[in-house]
Amino acid sequence: MRSHLRIPERFSGTKGRIVSLAVIIILIILLPLVANNYVKEVITNAFFYMILALGLNIVIGYAGLVDLGYAAFFAVGAYTTGILTKAGLNFWLTIPIAVIFSLIAGVVIGGPTLRLRSDYLAIVTLGFGEITRITARNLKITGGASGLVGIRKPSLFGYPLTHSSDFYYLFFILVVLAAIVAFRLHNSRLGRAWQYIREDEDAAAAMGIDPVRTKLYAYMLGAVFGGVAGSFFAVKMTAVSPETFAFTQSAMILMAVILGGMGKLAGAILGAMVLVLFPEVFRTIGQSRQLVFGIVLIIIMIFRPQGLWPERRN
Amino acid sequence: MSLYYVILQQLINGLILGSFYSLVALGYSMVYGIIKLLNFAHGDLYMVGAFVGFGTLGLLGGILGVGWLGIAAALLISMLAVGLLGMLVHRAAYQPLLNRRAPRMSLMITAVGVSFTLFNTVMVMTNGEYETVNTSLGYSGISLGPVNVTYTQIVMVVATALLMLALHWFIKRTMYGKAMRAIALDPDACRLMGINVTKTIGLTFFVGSSLAAAAGVMAGVYYGSIQFFMGFIIGLKAFTAAVIGGIGSIPGAMLGGLILGLLETAGTQLPFIGSAWKDVFTFGILILLLVFKPTGILGKSEIERM
Amino acid sequence: MSKKSMRLAGGIALSLALILSGCGAQGGNTPAGTGGQQPSGGEIKIGLPLPITGSEATFGKDMQNAINLAVSQINAKGGVDGKKIVTVTEDDACDPQQATAAANKLVSEGVVAVVGGYCSGAVIPTLTIYNAKNIPFVITAANSSKIAKENPGNTFEINGTLEYEAQRAVELFKSLGVKNLAIVEQGDAFSADLARLAEADWKATGNPVVAHEVTNKGEQDFSSLVTTLRTKKPDMVFWTAYYADGGLLIKQLRQGGYKGPITVGDGSADPKLIQVAGPAGEGTYVLSPPVASYLPAAKQFVADYKAQYHQSPGDYSALAYDGMNLMAHALKQAGSTDGKAIIKALAETKDFPGIAGKINFTAEKTLKGSNIIVLQIKNGKFTAAQ
Amino acid sequence: MSEIALVLNNLEAYYGKIHALKGISLEVPQGKIVTLLGSNGAGKSTTLKTISGLVPAASGTVEFYGRNITKEKAHNIVALGLIHVPEGRRIFKDLTVRENLELGGFTLKDEKLRRKRVEHVFELFPRLRERQKQSGGTLSGGEQQMLAIGRAMMTEPKVLLLDEPSMGLAPLIVQEIMRIIQQLNSEGTTVLLVEQNAKVALKLAAYGYVLETGQIVMNGDSSRLRQDERIVKAYLGG
Amino acid sequence: MSILEVNKLTLRFGGLTAVNDLSFRLEEHAIMSLIGPNGAGKTSAFNCLTGFYKATVGEILFLGRSIAAEKPHRITKMGIARTFQNVRLFKDMTVLENVMSGMHTRSSAGILAAILRPPGQIAEEKRIRQVSRECLDFVGIEDKADRLARNLAYGDQRRVEWARALATQPKLLLLDEPAAGLNQDEKNQLVELIQKIRNTLGITVLLIEHDMGLVMKVSEKIVVIDYGEKIAEGTAEAVKNNPRVIEAYLGKEDES
């Protein structure tokens, strides 16, 4: 009986979803035709946080692991690309290298700590984040405290990417790719394994799932998202400095995930959008905007503790 | 200076720094212990405490002077005011989420929101200015060769120790203290004992926040300068200290604070580390410690996830 | 489900509409891609990218106040060629990402020129954004040596570069007979740069740097650092960062038994340094930017500032004031609001009489000559060092 | 003549989204043991939780000696003399046995009285006195159940709600617990007993109610219920 | 031959000895029960067998291979499945997804396959679903496959757990108090199911149980432990009449 009713319901749901998604995508594609650079810049920034939020969502939302130092992965990608392009390497070639380094960072952070309880994991990841930032600040190769400047913007098939619109579209494509990868990961054998572990680690182990290895995969994949986003960040900003990767940055990305709704792809996207757009919309109130932001954050959490668009099925 | 004096002086330095960390970590750990919340706003309560103390000193300074009497009054008033603020934060921001049994992550993000709110409120109110805390405390003290300890430092450490002892007594001996420990274990069972759980959690916030305020006032008096973002670093450090000791454990927080203070001091002094790398050193030791003793030094080993 | 997605779509559309309208009011009707727009209604719009929130907010506000004071004075005298100057402040929060957004916002609001800039890290990524629209930028505080390297041509620095300051510091140390130097910085771009330059210059004189230490911003306890420094036996401790923590360091150096001289860089040249350090501050040498309170030419400015804002001007207030006046002067010289003309006028600046000293530019568009002065704390006051 | 200690009137409650109680009415006369039987998920525990205020009632009333306590907070109900010993004992594992008992007397304002009551519980359960400094978690299952009941006795309640006191205990221990419940009852405490183990419960209680999917499907004197074929088949193991 | 051989197994937590010098053998295709009073160490022994606890001393051989040092997920992969005393489902996932977890060790798609979705991965997903549905069908709740686990009645939640264990395609199934919380009707069905698991799937079954009636009905062999030690072993009849068992376990229960 139920399944009879469910099929058309589902169908219409999917259809509605496809239509609204198509509308959104068309809007996004057409926007640069009417918007000025500021709007494009803000939305590009939102795209950027969406990629990071999708990556962190793998760690936090899918696998249920805390990470207060996600900016470290982002830093690894940004510095790898920054250093290598300054050394003369083509930007696109630095991406696979950034991926490799982020993977290594994921293993280094995940490896020794995955057996820890969540709150301890919180401080350890925070510690790794700080270690990364301080190391970047103290080393010569990373440009020390003032970081790397003068990173060249890349070109694509001979076309130099310099305009706001170029990066707008580039980051939009990245968001789409990231969303597809995140979606597919979530709906796969590995994605289910993450969910099992998040819900009950012992039961998952009893089903033959290796908790440590599975969690490590989450860290590694999260790290890759962060690393790739970092690579693009470096060339978009043309500068990388250690303070960009401070704890507040990690907290921002974490907020995007939780504000939107942990574990939910659309939630991470929505959260990143709210987080970037909110302070911009309230730019006019000047110094109080962060105060208003804080209050709004509390209010949202009180009324939507599961996030704006939570993962919840009936 | 001979090596002996350097070690002695650094031990003293570490101890004083550590006792501040301990005092802030205690509140962090208490709140964590009872509702499993990483209260990122705790450092900001410390900051607000410093400002309330500063304001009180300004108001009462004329009557009580800016010596120990005035400072003691400022300390008490700030502890009371910030304690109440902590209760307000709990009631307004955290309890609604606890009532809905919200995920712990949401609670944590709410704490970030509270931190933002407190931090920016003070920023707007002080116009982002640094304030200078003027007291009549001098630098006289005890000197052992090149080793210096001022009377102010001695009083601060003694006051910190007294506050910790008082807290220990409160937690171990009074019914409310026992209730707090019981709520940490099983809040529903506590309701069935006739314990008003919400009120007791509020009381925990009061105690934790007033300890942070005490540390804030003392820091203001001791260092002489306060500003709206002074809570951020100490918040992170207190969190670290609480975890080193075993989060949720009161003696653990005290121990963790002292260890952190000593570690940082050692990191500054040690060759090849120095001040530039001292935080890397501290976090490195923290991570190693957790890898080998995954629940902190005095933490209970229990398995649960967020 | 579909309802939800519709709601999301609606939400996105709404927020897009909000930002579009937030800035579109002015930005929307200006033709895209052209430089200096013709301002309507006899106004010249000038953008101020400054840190208004975050830990550097104090400095941002000091600068904002000074610039607005300059603007009100200029407008009171009839403005520039009969046009009133209006300012638009955008918060960069000392963060590169926010700064880029702020810069784009200013551009889309149609600013003709930009004055301000405090954190080098936040300033650098914005230079090309302004340059793409030929918008001139007078930087009144940020002075990392990397700015000149990245300057696409539209940017002018009126704060003396750190190279000059480092040289001035080394001269001072030599004159005081220092041999062993200890440097303490704060790990940010500015103080690290100054520390690095000073260390190189000092070593070039053949003398050793016995310690180069780093503290964290907002960290209040330097006692272990002090003990460490004392074991290195320096003849001079040089603090290259800001006044709040600098005051604490001085106090704790004295408390910890350090008896040698102390010098602080221009980030610490603020009366609050004396307040924080208290009696311990006596005798400290201060490398100061031309701070208003100690400049004979700035007496009137200080008085006006106090009258207007009921507080003393901050570290970079005088330079910010000069920056605005310089920009107004250049606008007059250019005789139009065309960006290229203003940039040309700025580049041709000759002996502009700022309250902080005469302004001339090098080929790199940085301030020619050093405007650093050496002060010393005596009887709780900054006085010119002899 | 016996007064009615506890009356439930058409009580409804939700447990999350599940309609757990669909109109429960029952009476517990003073001085008696009344048992509530039913399979897992029938709503027995929810009934007790609704009485003691842990779960809010959606409609209907709970009256305690004529006083409507439906909307009272859990901690206030305790002060009235109605104590709920929850399923799974729920003792404070990291606190000592003595501290557990002291917390049972949280509502007592007088420290001396509290100490006296602890002594009284120790007389009732000498094994707890031996272990008073041990932490609750180190006790065996039976001892934990004793502690849970002893903790509830600290306020000398008029009515005791016991949820599955025999759960997970070996038969020998179950017998001892039941003996204790009987003793408390004979000393004047009214008991509402929820049990899986119908055999044991009906032996102890004077009256029984049978709950199925949130509704009372049968009630009567224990002796009558013990004879009922349906009961025998479903709960006593035919 | 014996599928499982436990030799002198001892488990200590600090000062407490949970399992003491326990030895027994389990023959292939048998149904055996491990019984004992509460706190006797039954679940601790179970946790040793499945790798959740590491035995302090002793040897555990599964099909002749030592598994005492193996991790739980490895043991599952070798062919031992278990259920938990208090049902531990993935509550916010559907019944089908719960059972699919059992197929984890019997499938192989990795990260790249998840992202690229080659035909092999799609076929594997299909197979996982199909086998899982078969397992649900076997325990009789196929119709509830798409419901959230948390919304199921207790008895059905138990069934999901059994289906999930069966989906790991074990050779040996360990059931930890499977009858707890079931009514008599459901207990009778459980007995049938246990027999069906052994008879049609050929899986050896070892259970811990409190319900003596059920134990007596279903087991071919019973091991009784008390205070972590084995006090008796044998058929239901033999154990029932063993005076040590009566004293430790049954007490004077049957007076009514």
8 A C-beta contact, residue C98 and residue C105? no
The 3-state DSSP class for residue B65 equals coil
Instruction: For chain C, say whether A301 makes contact (Cβ under 8 Å).
Output: no
Residues E219, E111 share a domain:
no
8 A C-beta contact, residue A204 and residue E76? no
Show which of residues 28-47 on chain B sit within 8 Å of chain A, judged by CB atoms: 32, 36, 38
Any contact of A with B, at least 3 CB pairs below 8 A?
yes
- Residues C224-264: tens digit of each pLDDT: 999 999 999 999 999 999 888 899 999 999 988 899 999 99
Terminal Cα distance for chain A, rounded: 16
Residue ranges and CATH numbers for the domains of chain B are 3-292 (1.10.3470)
Hey, which chains touch B, using 3+ CB pairs under 8 Å?
A, C, D
ipTM: 0.85
Q: Do D172 and E181 touch (CB under 8 A)?
A: no
Nearest-CA distance from E52 to chain D in Å? Answer: 21
- Residues C325-350: tens digit of each pLDDT: 999 999 999 988 899 999 999 999 99
Residues E178, E72 share a domain:
yes
Q: Do B287 and A112 touch (CB under 8 A)?
A: yes
Over the range A85-111, which residues count as b (16 or more CB within 10 Å of their CB) and which as e? Answer: beeeeebeebbebbbebbbebbeebbe
- Taking the C-alpha atoms of residue B198 and residue C373, their distance in angstroms, rounded to an integer, is 60
Chain C interface, mutation test: which of A36, A131, A308, most C Cβ atoms within 10 Å?
A36
The better pLDDT of the pair B133, A84 is held by A84
Instruction: For chain C, say whether A181 makes contact (Cβ under 8 Å).
Output: no
Show which of residues 183-212 on chain B sit within 8 Å of chain A, judged by CB atoms: none
Predicted confidence (pLDDT) at residue E253 exceeds the cutoff of 70: no
Which of B229, B236, D197 lies closest to C54, judged by CA? Answer: B229
What is the tally of structural domains in chain E? 2
Q: What share of chain E is helix, strand, coil (3-state, %, to 5)?
A: 45, 25, 30
- Taking the C-alpha atoms of residue B232 and residue B215, their distance in angstroms, rounded to an integer, is 14
Nearest CA in chain B to C309: B127
Q: Do B300 and D94 touch (CB under 8 A)?
A: yes
What count of CB pairs under 8 Å joins B to C? 101
Predicted confidence (pLDDT) at residue C267 exceeds the cutoff of 90: no
Instruction: For chain B, say whether C15 makes contact (Cβ under 8 Å).
Output: no
- Taking the C-alpha atoms of residue D125 and residue D142, their distance in angstroms, rounded to an integer, is 11
Beta bridge partners of E16: E13
Instruction: For chain B, say whether C61 makes contact (Cβ under 8 Å).
Output: yes
> What is the structure's pLDDT at C68?
95
Beta bridge partners of C83: C80
Q: Do A190 and E168 touch (CB under 8 A)?
A: no
Nearest CA in chain E to D164: E181
Burial (Cβ within 10 Å: 0-12, 13-18, ≥19) of residue C117: buried
Show which of residues 149-168 on chain B sit within 8 Å of chain A, judged by CB atoms: none
Chain D residues with CB-CB distance to E210 below 8 A: 168
Show which of residues 52-91 on chain D sit within 8 Å of chain E, judged by CB atoms: none
The better pLDDT of the pair C369, E90 is held by E90
Please state which CATH class domain D4-94+157-235 belongs to: alpha beta
The arrangement of strands across the sheet holding D159-163 comes to D82-85, D159-163, D190-195, D33-37, D207-212, D215-221
| Domain boundary assignment for chain C | 43-160+294-359, 163-288
CATH number of the domain located at residue range(s) C43-160+294-359 in this protein: 3.40.50.2300
- Taking the C-alpha atoms of residue D219 and residue D235, their distance in angstroms, rounded to an integer, is 14
Show which of residues 256-285 on chain C sit within 8 Å of chain A, judged by CB atoms: none
Which of D115, D166, D120, D124 lies closest to D142, judged by CA? Answer: D166
Residues 6+ apart with CB under 8 A from E254: none
Q: Do B194 and D52 touch (CB under 8 A)?
A: no
8 A C-beta contact, residue E35 and residue E223? yes
Nearest CA in chain A to C106: A38
For E88, which of A2, A192, A202 is closest by C-beta distance? Answer: A202
A13, A16, A18, A23 alpha-carbon torsion, rounded to 10°: -160
> What is the structure's pLDDT at D236?
55
- The bridge status of strand D18-29 relative to strand D4-15 is antiparallel
- Residues C170-200: tens digit of each pLDDT: 999 999 999 999 999 998 888 998 999 999 9
Chain A residues with CB-CB distance to E91 below 8 A: 199
Hey, which chains touch C, using 3+ CB pairs under 8 Å?
A, B
- Taking the C-alpha atoms of residue D25 and residue D29, their distance in angstroms, rounded to an integer, is 13
Q: What is the pLDDT along chain D (238 residues), one digit of tens a residue?
A: 468 999 999 999 987 667 889 999 999 999 999 999 887 778 888 999 999 999 999 999 999 999 999 999 999 999 999 999 998 889 998 899 999 999 999 999 899 999 999 999 999 899 899 999 988 888 877 888 999 999 999 999 999 999 988 877 777 788 889 999 999 999 999 999 998 778 888 999 999 999 988 899 999 999 998 888 877 766 655 4
What is the tally of structural domains in chain A? 1
User: What is the number of alpha carbons within 13 Å of residue E231 lying toward its C-beta?
Assistant: 22
Task: Determine the residue type at C42.
Answer: G
Nearest-CA distance from B71 to chain D in Å? Answer: 36
Q: Do E72 and A188 touch (CB under 8 A)?
A: no
- Taking the C-alpha atoms of residue D47 and residue D50, their distance in angstroms, rounded to an integer, is 5
Residue A150 included in any domain = yes
- A221 dihedral zone (left: phi>0; alpha: psi -120 to 50; beta): alpha
Average pLDDT over residues C365-379: 88
Report CA-CA distances (Å) from D72 to B152, B189, D53, D63: 52, 17, 7, 11
Q: Do A211 and E73 touch (CB under 8 A)?
A: yes
Chain B residues with CB-CB distance to A201 below 8 A: 303, 305
Residues E111, E234 share a domain:
no
Chain C residues with CB-CB distance to A24 below 8 A: 8-9, 12
A28, A33, A35, A37 alpha-carbon torsion, rounded to 10°: 100
Residues E154, E106 share a domain:
yes
Beta bridge partners of C236: C181
User: What is the number of alpha carbons within 13 Å of residue E232 lying toward its C-beta?
Assistant: 22
Chain D interface, mutation test: which of E159, E176, E184, most D Cβ atoms within 10 Å?
E184
Chain A residues with CB-CB distance to B121 below 8 A: 291
Chain C interface, mutation test: which of A24, A232, A241, A309, most C Cβ atoms within 10 Å?
A241
> What is the structure's pLDDT at C16?
52
- The bridge status of strand C352-354 relative to strand E229-234 is unpaired
Residues E148, E71 share a domain:
no
Q: What share of chain B is helix, strand, coil (3-state, %, to 5)?
A: 75, 5, 20
- Taking the C-alpha atoms of residue A43 and residue E159, their distance in angstroms, rounded to an integer, is 50
- B194 dihedral zone (left: phi>0; alpha: psi -120 to 50; beta): left
Quote the mean pLDDT of chain E: 88
- Domain with E163, as residue range(s), is 88-169
Hey, which chains touch E, using 3+ CB pairs under 8 Å?
A, D
8 A C-beta contact, residue C74 and residue C43? no
Predicted confidence (pLDDT) at residue B125 exceeds the cutoff of 60: yes
Over the range B260-281, which residues count as b (16 or more CB within 10 Å of their CB) and which as e? Answer: bbbbbbbbbbeeebbbbbbbbb
Beta bridge partners of E230: E225
Hey, which chains touch D, using 3+ CB pairs under 8 Å?
B, E
Tokens representing residue B70 in the block: 């005035």
Average pLDDT over residues A213-219: 94
8 A C-beta contact, residue B232 and residue B12? no
- Taking the C-alpha atoms of residue A270 and residue A46, their distance in angstroms, rounded to an integer, is 10
- Residues C25-41: tens digit of each pLDDT: 333 333 333 334 444 45
8 A C-beta contact, residue C162 and residue C197? yes
Tokens representing residue E132 in the block: 């899982």
Interface of E with D (CB under 8 A): 37-39, 151, 153-155, 181-185, 210, 213, 249-253, 256
Chain C residues with CB-CB distance to A270 below 8 A: 8, 11
> What is the structure's pLDDT at E115?
93
Task: Please provide residue C19's backbone torsions phi and psi, each rounded to the nearest 5 degrees.
Answer: -70, -35
- Residues C88-104: tens digit of each pLDDT: 999 998 888 899 999 99
Beta bridge partners of C44: C85
Instruction: For chain B, say whether C187 makes contact (Cβ under 8 Å).
Output: yes
> What is the structure's pLDDT at C33?
35
Average pLDDT over residues E21-42: 86
Tokens representing residue A249 in the block: 């940055």
CA quadruple B216, B217, B219, B220: dihedral sign:
positive
Q: Do D172 and E182 touch (CB under 8 A)?
A: no
Chain C residues with CB-CB distance to A277 below 8 A: 15, 18-19
Domain covering C163-288, topology: Rossmann fold (3.40.50)
Neighbours of B197 (CB within 10 A): 22
Neighbours of C384 (CB within 10 A): 11
8 A C-beta contact, residue D94 and residue B300? yes
Average pLDDT over residues A183-205: 94
Over the range B82-99, which residues count as b (16 or more CB within 10 Å of their CB) and which as e? Answer: bbebbbebbeebbbbbbe
Chain A interface, mutation test: which of E97, E115, E133, E158, most A Cβ atoms within 10 Å?
E115
8 A C-beta contact, residue D210 and residue D24? no
Tokens representing residue D28 in the block: 């517990």
Over the range A241-272, which residues count as b (16 or more CB within 10 Å of their CB) and which as e? Answer: bbbbbbbebbbbbbbbbbbbbbbbbbbbbbbb
Nearest-CA distance from A201 to chain B in Å? Answer: 9
- Taking the C-alpha atoms of residue B240 and residue B24, their distance in angstroms, rounded to an integer, is 11
Predicted confidence (pLDDT) at residue A313 exceeds the cutoff of 90: no
CATH number of the domain bearing residue E97: 3.40.50.300
Over the range B111-140, which residues count as b (16 or more CB within 10 Å of their CB) and which as e? Answer: bbbbbbbbbbbbbbebebbbbbbebebebe
Q: Answer with the one of E140, E169, E198 that is the final residue of a domain.
A: E169
Percent of chain C at pLDDT > 90 equals: 57
